[in-house]
DNA sequence: CGCGGTGTTGAGACCTGTCAAGACGTGTGG
DNA sequence: CCACACGTCTTGACAGGTCTCAACACCGCG
């Protein structure tokens, strides 16, 4: 159930069997949600964190004009709102992009967990800091990169993150976002996302059809995206 | 020396006198740096966190093209790299925009601090999550807001943050960034920042001269910026 | 007194947005 | 089995915000 989560943690840190047991023990309930549901609403007082078991979630901020901007995508193994443990209320929604299976960990339990295992506290602190590093990279993308580079960059990021939890086979992975979703990630219009994808396909850098993406030319795609995975902290130091 | 820091913490959470004493006791050295120095370099293995006592710092990411993008600004009372406590290496530089006074807290000391006072650990965890919330807002700014809105938004944000540490008098505050610095914050060119500032001045929403900013029409400026301070979490829940 | 950093201005180019229409595929109900 | 609705993808023409590339003004400071 939370194997992807442990995979993600262990990709970067040592987790003892006692810690693993405590984590497994902290899951309070597991449920399914449909696509396009709000899992956590901006402004609500939250009392638990949401661990994504299967499917895709996104953090979304709404603008007055009605357009939405995603600030992060989540894949299996991710906590979508671990930061709610300290913030208590979020300033963004968490929504499901696909049907999802989610587990929850009450804040109370998270508190026991981090007090009993300070090391685990630091591991989870790291995890929210990793989210922040992803935010920084997205800020740079939105501020400075062309549409082409942004699309390419997102595909590179998701490929690395999905690979960590065993969702990539031979540079190919399920990618359920519509072009409208992509536009909301990338700060573009869906029309322009469409044209940009066509160009990437024409250059034979990627294929993307039937909700499945394949990176055909990793080096060339990284080049276009100016992608450097350092911000994903694949080599973490012991905590 | 760290009064601004305590002011910032206490703006949102209760800090006991024991905790305060422990924080004060953790400062290992204080030094001055000139403007335009690199305080922490991307990729370096860090062993301490940098607490800004006086001046302005920025987190900067360099692009291959040579342009730089700031991902956050720091004012007195902020840790500029508290996330280095768990990340150990940063994927961005921390640079001084003005002459600064900085104090440092060794990671080792931070570890003792958070293990001895788990509550304080959560307060600092909150602090890095607040940085992440600021990152998210910046992502939205870069992705979706016009140049006018971005400039206005940054002024609104810094006014609130400076006010917390007592650096605002009657909507007026020192604002040492050059137009080039602003451009690097906002994902614009300095030429366009210039024209945008002129428009804001013409509309009598702000004044900005001699490195001092005044918000002349707060409501109108908030309107232009679509500024909602919720993301700054001025009302935090107890941890 | 010259110099480097900063601020200002103008003209033209270009990337991306806007608006609109249509194609395509899929599920639903008659 | 067909008709229809709906979401998604695609295409075209045009508009507009921001960038690029100068050049110049201003000013504090060595």
Burial of A42: CB neighbours in 10 Å, binned 0-12, 13-18, 19+: middle
pLDDT for residue B225 is more than 90: yes
Tell me the per-residue pLDDT of A160-185, one tens digit each, with 9 for 90 and over. Answer: 999 999 999 999 999 999 999 999 99
pLDDT for residue A1 is more than 90: no
Q: Concatenate the DSSP letters of all residues of A89-143 into one string.
A: S-SSEEEESS-EEEEEEEHHHHHHHHHH-HHHHHHHHHHHHHHHHHHHHHHHHHH
The residue of chain B nearest to residue A43, with distances taken between CA atoms, is: B230
d(CA A236, CA A233): 6
Region B74-89: what's the mean pLDDT? 98
Tell me the per-residue pLDDT of B199-220, one tens digit each, with 9 for 90 and over. Answer: 999 999 999 999 999 999 999 9
Contact B83 A129 (CB under 8 A): yes
Measuring from the CA of residue A181 to each C1' atom, give the nucleotide at the shortest distance: D8
Region A214-239: what's the mean pLDDT? 97
Region B68-95: what's the mean pLDDT? 98
> pTM for the complete prediction?
0.98
Which residues are CB-neighbours of B224 under 8 A, at least 6 positions away? B148, B149, B152, B200, B205
Question: DSSP class of residue A236?
Answer: P
Which residues are CB-neighbours of A61 under 8 A, at least 6 positions away? A42, A68, A69, A71, A91, A92, A93, B136, B137, B140
Region B68-84: what's the mean pLDDT? 98
Find the Å distance, CA of residue A206 to C1' of nucleotide C27: 30
Tell me the per-residue pLDDT of A70-96, one tens digit each, with 9 for 90 and over. Answer: 999 999 999 999 999 999 999 999 999
pLDDT of residue B145: 98
Find the Å distance, CA of residue B81 to C1' of nucleotide D12: 49
pLDDT band at B28 (very low <50, low <70, confident <90, very high): confident
State which H helix or E strand residue A206 sits in: strand A206-209
The separation between CA B54 and the C-alpha centre of its own chain, rounded to angstroms, equals 12
pLDDT for residue A100 is more than 90: yes
SS (H, E, C) B149-191: HHHHHHHHHHHHHHHHCCCCECCEEECCCCHHHHHHHHCCCHH
Contact B92 A136 (CB under 8 A): yes
Contact A91 B231 (CB under 8 A): yes
User: Of A125, A130, A182, A227, which to mutate for an interface test with B (greatest number of B Cβ within 10 Å)?
Assistant: A125
Beta bridge partners of B141: none
pLDDT of residue A28: 86
């Amino acid at each position: 159930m939370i194997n992807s989560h442990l995979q993600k943690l262990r990709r970067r840190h040592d987790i003892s069997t006692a810690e693993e047991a405590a984590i497994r023990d902290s899951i309070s309930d597991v449920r399914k949600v449909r696509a396009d549901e709000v899992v956590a609403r901006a402004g609500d007082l939250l009392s638990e964190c949401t661990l994504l078991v299967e499917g895709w979630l996104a953090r979304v901020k709404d603008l007055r004009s009605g357009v939405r901007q995603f600030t992060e995508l989540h894949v299996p193994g991710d906590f979508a709102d671990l930061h709610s443990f300290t913030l208590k209320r979020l300033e963004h929604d968490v929504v499901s992009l696909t049907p999802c299976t989610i587990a929850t960990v009450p804040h109370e339990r998270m508190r026991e967990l981090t007090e009993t295992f300070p090391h685990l506290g630091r591991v989870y602190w790291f995890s929210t800091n990793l989210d922040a590093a992803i935010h920084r990279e997205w800020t740079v993308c939105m501020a400075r990169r062309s549409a082409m580079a942004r699309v390419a960059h997102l595909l590179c990021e998701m490929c690395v993150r999905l690979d960590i939890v065993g969702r990539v086979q031979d540079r190919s992975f399920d990618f359920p976002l519509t072009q409208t979703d992509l536009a909301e990630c990338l700060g573009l219009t869906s029309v322009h996302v469409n044209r940009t994808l066509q160009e990437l396909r024409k250059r034979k850098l990627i294929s993307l059809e039937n909700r499945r993406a394949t990176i055909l030319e990793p080096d060339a795609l990284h080049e276009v995206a100016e992608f450097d995975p350092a911000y994903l902290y694949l080599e973490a130091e012991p905590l």
